[in-house]
Amino acid sequence: MRHFALARSSHPLPALAVTAIAAGLAAAVGGGALGVAAAVLPGQLSVGWLNDLVDADRDARVGRSGKPVARGEVSRRVVLVAAVISALAAVVLSLPFGIPATAVHLVALGSAWAYDLGLKATAFSVLPYAVSFGLLPVFVTLGSDTAPASWLVLAAALLGAAAHFVNVLPDLADDAATGVRGLPHRLGAVRSTAVAALLVLATAVLLVLGPVGPSAGLLLLVLAVVLLSTGLVLGRRPGSRAAFRAVILVALLDVAALLGSGIPPG
């Protein structure tokens, strides 16, 4: 039962989505998609477990459901051990892609851990998302012995920043009550929503100007607008993560477009 609770506390959807994005990027550059997925997934799980561990007391105070650590369904020590082992596994599984790629993955994980350990409550809360997402294509391309394209790194960083804003939106009130004041909390729900929308659209525009081209890029841009608009509308329901899921879907669409067009070296 405790193992099941640990699995439920690992944020499987974001972890699997980021893993799928990384694997898709690897396939687009001719790298080992399965190896990339094997390296990225445990790192993402470690970030989710650490987040639940650090937030356990705050989650308990506001009565968040679906938080096994806060509800005492799984030992905090077990979660800590799982987070550390998963992070180490991510680093070890990155080694076959070379020392530079492994170092980049380590920095990306360190950035994500820094968010969990305190940056989330500061005005710089968006930086770990931008850094970690931006480094994802760098890790993938270095592992495939190609130079990362600057536009791809920028697009990933913008998309990561957007994911931060929409992921925090449902928890603004609860976070404020427990002393968390990241950048979205300081901007407020309306301005944070507008910033997230602009960031997603900027990402799509980069792909239009990049390898996707104007014809397929225009379709991608329209789909991004539709998905984001739908996610933001559905995300107005209390506790809804629809907007975050919409951003992840846009990211997967971007990867699919890249698979069709190829990623030129930077």
Alpha-carbon span 125 to 253, nearest angstrom = 26
**pLDDT band of 241, cuts 50, 70, 90:** confident
Q: Is residue 253 part of a domain?
A: yes
Give percent above pLDDT 90 in the chain.
35
Q: Is residue 50 part of a domain?
A: yes
Alpha-carbon span 64 to 86, nearest angstrom = 25
**pLDDT band of 12, cuts 50, 70, 90:** low
Q: Is residue 248 part of a domain?
A: yes
Determine the pLDDT at residue 186: 93
Q: Residues near 174 by Cβ (< 8 Å), separated by ≥ 6?
A: 58, 62, 64
Q: Is residue 119 part of a domain?
A: yes
Residue 12, domain extent: 2-261
* Domain CATH number, residue 30: 1.10.600
Q: Domain total for the chain? A: 1
The answer, yes or no, to whether residue 138 has pLDDT greater than 90, is yes
Q: Is residue 70 part of a domain?
A: yes
Cβ–Cβ under 8 Å, residues 76 and 196: no
The answer, yes or no, to whether residue 132 has pLDDT greater than 70, is yes
Alpha-carbon span 15 to 173, nearest angstrom = 25
Average per-residue pLDDT for the chain? 83
Alpha-carbon span 25 to 13, nearest angstrom = 18
Distances (CA, A) of 39 to 109, 168, 171: 11, 26, 30
Largest CA distance in the chain: 53
Pair of tokens at residue 108: 């990306």
The answer, yes or no, to whether residue 166 has pLDDT greater than 90, is no
Arithmetic mean of pLDDT, 244-266: 69
Pair of tokens at residue 192: 């944070």
**pLDDT band of 115, cuts 50, 70, 90:** very high
Q: Is residue 266 part of a domain?
A: no
Angle at Cα 71 formed by Cα 68 and Cα 75, nearest 5°?
65
Cβ–Cβ under 8 Å, residues 119 and 128: yes
Determine the pLDDT at residue 36: 95
Alpha-carbon span 72 to 67, nearest angstrom = 9
pTM (2 d.p.): 0.84
State the burial class of residue 157 (Cβ atoms within 10 Å of its Cβ: 0-12, 13-18, 19+): buried
Arithmetic mean of pLDDT, 181-204: 87
Strands (E), 113-165: none
Pair of tokens at residue 23: 């694997």
Q: Is residue 85 part of a domain?
A: yes
Give percent above pLDDT 70 in the chain.
87
Q: What is the tens place of the pLDDT at every residue in 196-234?
A: 888 888 887 887 776 666 666 677 778 888 888 888 888
Pair of tokens at residue 7: 């699995």
